[in-house]
């Protein structure tokens, strides 16, 4: 009910996306207003992926320059952490075990509000729900948890078994607990007398962790909720269908703060979309990307979609997609509990079976008509009737990569990256204090030369 109320006081974006559907790269994107290949955070911070440069301008440094007090509650999960010099930190651990109740986030926010009365402020609140493990109930929340009999898996998963329904039920229980946390947070904002003077963004950093969700470049991974509430600016209860990105948060915040917006941003100021006034010059495409995020999941994919069609580019076709294996192969060392076991997969339709096989070993290109096929089951890439659409999207993707100096355009960079990742599947690097991925230097140098 609290998120619904926030949407009723603000604008909800039906087609909002992250550039990368895993936490560290996704967070780095909205914090730095750059794509992953532009900022360097192309994998998980816990696996020593990082920004190319500590001095990368970001939400924190830019707003501090304007006199804002900055705060972070919950995890950051971007390297190096000192690139983000928050004035206030609380509950810094990932907290996936939920040791801290949702009330703790609200109380820490209240502390921040009280300390920040004399200056403008920016606060980032990061709840641990709904991250794995999907925990049914924590400290009595939610009060009325759902069970497997109450739910079905999301339609894009394609697999429906009692075991997966139990995972889905607990995912929704996590969301209900998150909603309570949002309500408590908004109440503290109101108690501080700041509701009418605060621009609020509500986002997720990726989609749900189920097959073809988190970690993938399918809609289940890249498409996320986005609510913007800005008193005096947003038209209450408005729903916009334009393509929005979490890259748009910082340009919008800078505009609200009266700051100069850096040029050549991939993100846009959302202000023109906050009323029902017609907008004629908005983005045509949304970009998505993954490296797999760590060595045991290594697989490179790019995606580009417009308002109807979606292209997925797989530059190493015919090789195993280790991301898919982590959801579909129980022998994978990081098989996730919300994946589809061999027993689960015995229940699927031929169409879903074909789609999962395609995900496991992708062709060079995938093309989907999202209007007719919103869950991306039917690959049209080799259908002659869609050749012009495919060519248009390939050209647009290549142009975007060229404009943003994507190192993965160069096959030498791509193969060197994949080799280094696969050579480190033993993950011993995690215990090596001074370990540094070579891409942090080679990609940065390549970008500087372009």
DSSP E strands in 218-305: the ranges are 223-224, 226-229, 238-245, 286-290, 301-305
Taking a C-beta distance cutoff of 8 angstroms, is the pair 127, 108 a contact?
Answer: no
The per-residue pLDDT for 264 is: 76
∠ CA 233-236-238, nearest 5°, is 100
Average pLDDT rounded to a whole number, residues 245-264: 91
Average pLDDT rounded to a whole number, residues 88-108: 87
Q: How far apart are CA 308 and CA 348, in angstroms?
A: 27
Domains and CATH numbers, the chain: 2-273 (3.40.720.10), 286-449 (no CATH)
Q: How far apart are CA 48 and CA 33, in angstroms?
A: 21
Q: How far apart are CA 229 and CA 450, in angstroms?
A: 40
Give the C-alpha distances (Å, rounded to integers) separating 397 from 79, 285, 286, 291, 405: 28, 9, 10, 17, 12
DSSP class of residue 302 equals E
Identify any residues that bridge with 239 across adjacent strands, giving them in sequence order. 12
Whether 361 has a pLDDT exceeding 90, the answer reads yes
Give the C-alpha distances (Å, rounded to integers) separating 68 from 22, 78, 206: 29, 21, 28
What sign does the CA torsion over 166, 168, 169, 175 have? positive
Tokens 């096929």 correspond to what residue?
Answer: 373
∠ CA 211-16-395, nearest 5°, is 85
Whether 95 has a pLDDT exceeding 80, the answer reads no
Whether 96 has a pLDDT exceeding 80, the answer reads no
What sign does the CA torsion over 369, 371, 373, 376 have? positive
pLDDT tens string 333-353: 999 999 999 999 999 999 999
pLDDT tens string 304-338: 999 999 999 999 999 999 999 999 999 999 999 99
The per-residue pLDDT for 294 is: 97
Average pLDDT rounded to a whole number, residues 130-147: 92
Query: Which of 46-50, 137-141, 185-189, 367-371 bottoms out in mean pLDDT, i.e. has the lowest?
Result: 137-141
Taking a C-beta distance cutoff of 8 angstroms, is the pair 352, 360 a contact?
Answer: no
Give the count of beta carbons closer than 10 Å to the beta carbon of residue 8. 13
């Amino acid at each position: 009910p609290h998120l619904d109320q926030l949407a009723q006081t603000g604008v909800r974006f039906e087609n909002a996306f992250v550039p990368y559907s895993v936490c560290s790269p996704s967070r780095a994107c909205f914090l730095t207003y750059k794509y992953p290949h532009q900022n360097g955070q192309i994998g998980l911070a816990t696996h020593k992926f990082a920004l190319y440069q500590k001095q990368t301008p970001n939400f924190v440094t830019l707003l501090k320059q304007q006199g804002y007090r900055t705060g972070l509650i919950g995890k950051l999960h971007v390297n190096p952490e000192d690139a983000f010099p928050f004035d206030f930190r609380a509950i810094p651990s990932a907290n996936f075990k939920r040791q801290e109740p949702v009330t703790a986030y609200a109380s820490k926010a209240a502390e921040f509000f009280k300390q920040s009365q004399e200056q403008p402020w920016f606060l980032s609140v990061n709840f641990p729900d709904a991250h794995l493990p999907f925990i049914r109930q924590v400290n009595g929340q939610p009060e009325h948890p759902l069970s497997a009999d109450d739910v079905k898996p999301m339609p894009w998963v394609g697999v429906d078994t009692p075991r997966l329904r139990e995972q889905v039920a607990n995912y929704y229980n996590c969301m209900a607990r998150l909603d309570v946390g949002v309500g408590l947070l908004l109440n503290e904002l109101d108690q501080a007398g700041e509701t009418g003077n605060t621009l609020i963004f509500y986002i997720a950093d990726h989609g749900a962790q189920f097959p073809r969700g988190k970690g993938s470049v399918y809609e289940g991974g890249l498409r996320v909720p986005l609510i913007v509430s800005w008193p005096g600016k947003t038209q209450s209860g408005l729903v916009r269908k334009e393509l929005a990105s979490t890259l748009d948060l910082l340009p919008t915040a800078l505009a609200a703060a009266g700051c100069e917006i850096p040029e050549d941003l991939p993100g846009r100021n959302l202000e023109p979309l906050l009323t029902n006034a017609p907008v004629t010059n908005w983005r045509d495409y949304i970009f998505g990307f993954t490296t797999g995020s760590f060595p045991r999941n290594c697989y490179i994919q790019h995606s580009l979609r417009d308002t109807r069609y979606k292209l997925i580019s797989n530059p190493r076709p015919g090789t195993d997609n280790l991301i898919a294996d982590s959801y579909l192969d129980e022998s994978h060392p990081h098989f996730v509990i919300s994946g589809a076991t061999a027993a689960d997969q015995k229940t699927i339709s031929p169409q879903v079976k074909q789609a999962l096989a395609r995900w496991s070993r992708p062709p060079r290109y995938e093309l989907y008509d999202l209007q007719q096929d919103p869950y991306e089951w039917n690959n049209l890439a080799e259908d002659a009737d869609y050749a012009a659409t495919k060519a248009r999207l390939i050209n647009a993707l290549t142009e975007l990569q060229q404009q943003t100096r994507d190192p993965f355009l160069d096959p030498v960079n791509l193969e060197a990256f994949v080799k280094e990742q696969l050579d480190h599947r033993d993950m011993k690097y995690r215990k090596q204090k001074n370990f540094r991925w070579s891409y942090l230097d080679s990609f940065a140098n390549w970008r500087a030369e372009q």
